[in-house]
Amino acid sequence: MQDYLKGLNERQKEAVLHVDGPLMIIAGAGSGKTKVLTTRIAHLMAIGVDAFNILALTFTNKAAREMKERIEHILGNNEARNLYIGTFHSVFARILRGEAPRLGYPSNFTIYDTDDAKSVIKAIVHELNLDDKHYKPNTVYNRISNAKNALVTAQEYVNDYAIQQEDLRSNRPAIGKIFEAYAKRCFRNGAMDFDDLLVKMYELLKYFPEALSKYQRKFKYILIDEYQDTNTAQYEIIKLLGAMHENVCVVGDDAQSIYSFRGATIQNILQFQKDYDDVKVVKLEQNYRSTQNILNVANEIISNNKGQIEKTLFTENVTGEKIKLIRTISDNDEGKFVADTIQEQKLRNHFHNKDFAILYRTNAQSRAFEEALRRMGIAYTIYGGISFYQRKEIKDYISYLRVLVNPDDEEALKRIINYPARGIGKTSVDRIILAANEHNISFWQVLERAREFGIRGATLESVENFVVMIKSFTSMLNHKNAYDVAVHVGKQTNFVRELFNDKSAEGVARYENIQELLNSIKEWVEGSEEEFIINDGEEAITEGITNESADGITDQNEGSVPAPEETSERQDKSLGAYLQQITLLTDADNKSTDADTVKLMTIHAAKGLEFSCVFAAGLEESLFPNAMSINTREELEEERRLFYVVVTRAKQRLWISYANSRYRFGSLIQNEPSRFINEIPEEYLDKSNAGSASRSGFGMSAFERMRGGSFGGNARSATRMAEKRYGPPPGRRDDAAPAYTGVKPQTRVKEHQPSADFAPSDTSGLQAGQKVEHQKFGFGEVVKVEGSRQNPVAMIKFENNGEKKIMLNYARLRIIG
DNA sequence: TACAGTGCTTTTTTT
DNA sequence: AAGCACTGTA
A133 touches strand C (CB under 7 A): no
Grouping H, G, I as helix, E, B as strand and the rest as coil, residue A335 is: helix
| Higher local confidence (pLDDT), A606 or A711 | A606
Concatenate the DSSP letters of all residues of A54-68 into one string.
EEEEESSHHHHHHHH
Contact A784, A736 (CB under 8 A): no
A52 touches strand C (CB under 7 A): no
| Chain segment A438-451, per-residue pLDDT in tens | 999 999 999 999 99
Q: Which of residues 705-724 of A touch strand C (CB under 7 A)?
A: none
A114 touches strand C (CB under 7 A): no
Distance CA A365 to C1' C3 in A: 18
Q: Which nucleotide is nearest to A59 (CA to C1')?
A: B15
Q: Which residue is nearest to nucleotide B11 (CA to C1')?
A: A628
Work out the pLDDT band at A406, boundaries 50, 70, 90: very high
Distance CA A519 to C1' C4 in A: 32
Concatenate the DSSP letters of all residues of A726-774 into one string.
H-PPTT--TTSPPGGG---GGG--------TT--PPP-TT--TT-EEEE
Confidence (pLDDT) at A455 = 86
Burial class from Cβ neighbours inside 10 Å (0-12, 13-18, 19+) for residue A390 reads middle
Work out the pLDDT band at A244, boundaries 50, 70, 90: very high
A138 touches strand C (CB under 7 A): no
Distance in angstroms (rounded) separating the CA atoms of residues A52 and A217? 11
Confidence (pLDDT) at A792 = 63
Question: Which range in A65-69, A402-406, A492-496, A754-758 is most confidently predicted, on average pLDDT?
Answer: A402-406
Which stretches of A424-574 are DSSP H helices? 426-439, 443-448, 457-476, 482-492, 495-501, 505-526, 566-570
Closest by alpha carbon to A521, among A490, A564, A561?
A490
Distance in angstroms (rounded) separating the CA atoms of residues A112 and A117? 6
Contact A116, A610 (CB under 8 A): no
Q: Which of A149-153, A209-213, A539-543, A775-779 has the lowest mean pLDDT?
A: A539-543
A663 touches strand C (CB under 7 A): yes
Q: Which nucleotide is nearest to A62 (CA to C1')?
A: B15
Which residues of A belong to the active site? Answer: 33-34, 225-226, 256, 649
The answer to whether residue A567 scores a pLDDT higher than 50 is no
Concatenate the DSSP letters of all residues of A146-158 into one string.
HHHHTT--HHHHH
Distance in angstroms (rounded) separating the CA atoms of residues A72 and A81? 8
| Chain segment A663-684, per-residue pLDDT in tens | 988 888 999 999 999 999 999 9
Beta strands in A313-470 (DSSP E): 314-315, 323-330, 356-360, 380-382
Distance CA A776 to C1' C3 in A: 32
For chain A, the 3-state helix, strand and coil shares in percent, each to the nearest 5, are 50, 15, 35
Structure letter (DSSP) for residue A564 = S
Q: Which amino acid is at A325?
A: L
Q: Which nucleotide is nearest to A261 (CA to C1')?
A: B13
The answer to whether residue A722 scores a pLDDT higher than 50 is no
In the predicted model, what is the mean pLDDT of residues A424-430?
Answer: 85
Work out the pLDDT band at A275, boundaries 50, 70, 90: very high
Point out which residues pair with A796 in neighbouring strands: A782, A804
| Chain segment A101-155, per-residue pLDDT in tens | 999 999 999 999 999 999 999 989 988 888 888 899 999 999 999 999 999 999 9
Confidence (pLDDT) at A766 = 72
List all nucleotides in chain B with at least one atom under 7 A from a protein Cβ.
1-3, 8-15
Confidence (pLDDT) at A364 = 92
List all nucleotides in chain C with at least one atom under 7 A from a protein Cβ.
1-2, 5-6
Distance in angstroms (rounded) separating the CA atoms of residues A290 and A300? 15
Confidence (pLDDT) at A423 = 84
Q: Which residue is nearest to nucleotide B8 (CA to C1')?
A: A788
The answer to whether residue A552 scores a pLDDT higher than 50 is no
Query: How many Cα atoms within 13 Å fall on the side-chain side of residue A499?
Result: 23
Query: Residue A39: CB partners within 8 Å, gap ≥ 6?
Result: A4, A5, A8, A12, A16, A74
| Chain segment A32-59, per-residue pLDDT in tens | 999 999 999 999 999 999 999 999 999 9
Q: Which residue is nearest to nucleotide B10 (CA to C1')?
A: A665
The answer to whether residue A716 scores a pLDDT higher than 70 is no
Beta strands in A341-431 (DSSP E): 356-360, 380-382
Other beta carbons within 10 Å of A799: 12
A129 touches strand C (CB under 7 A): no
**Cis-peptide, bond into residue A420, ω within 30° of zero:** yes
The answer to whether residue A303 scores a pLDDT higher than 90 is yes
In the predicted model, what is the mean pLDDT of residues A67-81?
Answer: 89
Distance CA A664 to C1' B11 in A: 9
How large is the C-alpha radius of gyration of chain A?
A: 29
Work out the pLDDT band at A758, boundaries 50, 70, 90: low
Question: Which range in A510-524, A540-554, A767-781 is most confidently predicted, on average pLDDT?
Answer: A510-524
Distance CA A806 to C1' B3 in A: 34
Contact A663, A364 (CB under 8 A): no
Confidence (pLDDT) at A729 = 33
The proportion of chain A whose per-residue pLDDT surpasses 70, expressed as a percent, equals 82
Q: Which of A157-166, A314-323, A471-480, A720-729 has the lowest mean pLDDT?
A: A720-729
Measured N-to-C along each axis, helices A575-583 and A392-405 cross at an angle, to the nearest 10 degrees, of: 140
Length of chain A: 817
A665 touches strand C (CB under 7 A): yes
Q: Which residue is nearest to nucleotide C3 (CA to C1')?
A: A665
**Cis-peptide, bond into residue A137, ω within 30° of zero:** no
Q: What are phi and psi of A306, to 5 degrees?
A: -95, 170
Distance CA A790 to C1' B6 in A: 19
Contact A376, A740 (CB under 8 A): no
Query: How many Cα atoms within 13 Å fall on the side-chain side of residue A196?
Result: 25
Work out the pLDDT band at A769, boundaries 50, 70, 90: confident
Contact A145, A263 (CB under 8 A): yes
Which stretches of A220-266 are DSSP H helices? 232-242
A788 touches strand C (CB under 7 A): no
Distance CA A684 to C1' B6 in A: 53
The answer to whether residue A454 scores a pLDDT higher than 90 is no
Other beta carbons within 10 Å of A596: 10
Distance CA A787 to C1' B10 in A: 12
Work out the pLDDT band at A756, boundaries 50, 70, 90: low
Query: pTM of the prediction?
Result: 0.83
Confidence (pLDDT) at A815 = 78
Q: Which nucleotide is nearest to A790 (CA to C1')?
A: B9
Q: Which residue is nearest to nucleotide C2 (CA to C1')?
A: A665
A779 touches strand C (CB under 7 A): no
A118 touches strand C (CB under 7 A): no
Confidence (pLDDT) at A771 = 81
In the predicted model, what is the mean pLDDT of residues A477-482?
Answer: 88
In the predicted model, what is the mean pLDDT of residues A160-188?
Answer: 93
Confidence (pLDDT) at A712 = 29
Confidence (pLDDT) at A721 = 32
Confidence (pLDDT) at A549 = 32
Residue A102: left (phi > 0), alpha (psi -120 to 50), or beta?
alpha
Grouping H, G, I as helix, E, B as strand and the rest as coil, residue A297 is: helix
Q: Which nucleotide is nearest to A367 (CA to C1')?
A: C1
| Higher local confidence (pLDDT), A717 or A233 | A233
| Chain segment A336-382, per-residue pLDDT in tens | 999 999 999 999 999 999 999 999 999 999 999 999 999 999 999 99
The answer to whether residue A561 scores a pLDDT higher than 50 is no
Q: Which nucleotide is nearest to A791 (CA to C1')?
A: B9
| Mean per-residue pLDDT of chain A | 83
Q: Which nucleotide is nearest to A392 (CA to C1')?
A: C3
Q: Which of A322-331, A598-607, A685-694, A786-795 has the lowest mean pLDDT?
A: A786-795
Q: Which nucleotide is nearest to A194 (CA to C1')?
A: B15
Measured N-to-C along each axis, helices A194-207 and A232-242 cross at an angle, to the nearest 10 degrees, of: 30
Residue A556: left (phi > 0), alpha (psi -120 to 50), or beta?
alpha
Distance CA A427 to C1' B1 in A: 10
Cα-based angle A679, A682, A683 (whole degrees, multiple of 5): 125
First to last CA, chain A: 82
Q: Using CA of residue A662, residue A665, residue A668, residue A669, what is the dihedral sign?
A: negative
The answer to whether residue A788 scores a pLDDT higher than 70 is no
The answer to whether residue A559 scores a pLDDT higher than 60 is no
Beta strand A54-58 with A84-87 is parallel
Q: What's A79-96 look like in SS3?
A: HHHHCEEEEHHHHHHHHH
Distance CA A597 to C1' B12 in A: 26
